[in-house]
Amino acid sequence: MRLSKRGEYGLRAMIVLAEPAEKNAMPVVQIKEIAEREQISAKFLEQILLALKNAGMLHSKMGVGGGYYLARPASEITLGQIFRVLDGPVAPIKCVSQMSYEPCGCPDEQTCGLRLVMGDVRNAIADILDNTSLADVTKRQTAVRKKLGIKR
Amino acid sequence: MRLSKRGEYGLRAMIVLAEPAEKNAMPVVQIKEIAEREQISAKFLEQILLALKNAGMLHSKMGVGGGYYLARPASEITLGQIFRVLDGPVAPIKCVSQMSYEPCGCPDEQTCGLRLVMGDVRNAIADILDNTSLADVTKRQTAVRKKLGIKR
DNA sequence: CGAAAAGACTACTTGTACTATGGACTTTAT
DNA sequence: ATAAAGTCCATAGTACAAGTAGTCTTTTCG
């Protein structure tokens, strides 16, 4: 039940990109900067950001002083959306996926015990991911920082 | 966020093995029977059951009339236990795993937004899997069957 | 006893997905 | 014009998943 590196790095990068928006800072951030801050290979990260861009969640600016920025306000981008672009369906098995259902091959889907439980799991995960926006994450981060007395 | 085939088949098989216990039937079931019922390669299933046996969740009987049976009552075996044997930690990223923690490499673990959210996800999943026993699953299955008016 | 049925164990194969890396090209600010 | 940035495409290496094969051991029963 693992999140891929691709998904992990993508989510991390999106969270970083959500921060300047909060501070009313210049929203454009370069790949290189994100890569350094999060310890990610810049080349690999590039592919990931590109995928997110093609999915319409990021915009970019080319040339000197260019970089990436969120296509919509941080409060309107959920972790679930990002996750699905990079890692595919949230559901542990295909037959309980809401967004991209496929039969799983069990003898009787209606009464399959595993399916019933995995349906619960998929709902639990989706509940969290689809109801947490990037803005929620940065808010939570700063709350923790304040509590610990860290400035930054 | 996918369950492996290994995990899927293993959970399916354990659910099958939990059924005769419920009906006070002879508890020993052969690989071949499970494989046919659930449409799984018998050879592959064999490996999986072996792993579960070595983990102490199954016992087996060799020779003619042999097969597998649960090592403990179905009410005392949780899906979480089975899952961990076959697919490893429940947590989406290592740094939020309770059972087998490892640092993930983010700059500051305490204030990492991704980590906070993934911690919630891991807890949601673990809550379900660790609080659902095989007996719970078979109970739920028969409840659905009754509701739908299926005998079997 | 010995043959057949069952599990135990080990090794190998095959495919595919993850995790990158490299290089050529395009756009833009100065 | 040049350098800094993103874009796009190809490919390599690795690891792991999923499945196959074969041999050995134990047990029952005729």
Profile chain B (152 residues) by mean pLDDT over runs of 10 residues.
Answer: 95 94 76 95 97 97 94 97 97 94 87 96 98 97 93 65
Identify the pLDDT of residue B5: 96
Chain C positions with a protein C-beta closer than 7 Å: 4-11, 17-23, 26-30
CB-based contact, B90 to chain A, within 8 Å: yes
Select from B12, B87, B125 the Cβ nearest to the Cβ of A124: B125
pLDDT tens digits for range A97-108: 999 999 988 888
Nearest-angstrom CA–CA distance, B8 and B2: 10
Contact flag, residue B44 CB and nucleic strand D, below 7 A? yes
The reply to whether residue A117 touches residue B127, judged by beta carbons under 8 angstroms, is no
| C1’ D21 / CA B103, Å | 40
The reply to whether residue A92 touches residue B39, judged by beta carbons under 8 angstroms, is no
Contact flag, residue A26 CB and nucleic strand C, below 7 A? no
The reply to whether residue A141 touches residue B117, judged by beta carbons under 8 angstroms, is no
The terminus-to-terminus CA distance of chain B in angstroms comes to 34
Are residues B23 and B55 in contact, defined by beta-carbon separation less than 8 angstroms? no
Q: For A144-152, what is the mean pLDDT?
A: 86
Q: Which tokens hold the place of A97?
A: 């996926």
CB-based contact, B62 to chain A, within 8 Å: no
Is the pLDDT assigned to residue A20 strictly greater than 80?
Answer: no
Identify the pLDDT of residue B27: 80
Identify the pLDDT of residue B53: 97
Identify the pLDDT of residue B28: 93
Identify the pLDDT of residue A21: 66
Are residues A119 and A97 in contact, defined by beta-carbon separation less than 8 angstroms? no
Is the pLDDT assigned to residue A25 strictly greater than 70?
Answer: no
Is the pLDDT assigned to residue A35 strictly greater than 90?
Answer: yes
Name the pTM for this structure.
0.95
Residues 6+ apart with CB under 8 A from A126: A80, A90, A98
Identify the pLDDT of residue B105: 80
**pLDDT band with cut points at 50, 70 and 90 for residue A150:** confident
Considering only CA atoms, which residue is closest to the C1' of nucleotide D6? Answer: A62
Written as one letter, the residue type at B30 is Q
Strand C: which of residues 73-132 in chain A lie with Cβ below 7 A? 87
Q: Which tokens hold the place of B59?
A: 């016992």
- Output A75 or A1, whichever has higher pLDDT: A75
Select from B1, B113, B132 the Cβ nearest to the Cβ of A138: B113
Q: Which tokens hold the place of B26?
A: 């002879």
Considering only CA atoms, which residue is closest to the C1' of nucleotide C5? Answer: B64
Q: Which tokens hold the place of A32?
A: 């290189």
Written as one letter, the residue type at A117 is V
CB-count burial class (<10 Å; 0-12, 13-18, 19+) for A148: exposed
Q: A107-112: long-range contacts at Cβ-Cβ below 8 A with a sequence spacing of 24 or more?
A: A107/B37, A107/B38, A107/B39, A110/B144, A110/B148, A111/B141, A111/B144, A111/B145, A111/B148, A111/B150, A112/B141
CB-based contact, B128 to chain A, within 8 Å: yes
Residues 6+ apart with CB under 8 A from A70: A14, A17, A18, A21, A27, A57, A58, A59, A77, A134
Partner A, chain B 2-61, Cβ-Cβ below 8 Å? 2-3, 8, 11-12, 15, 37-39
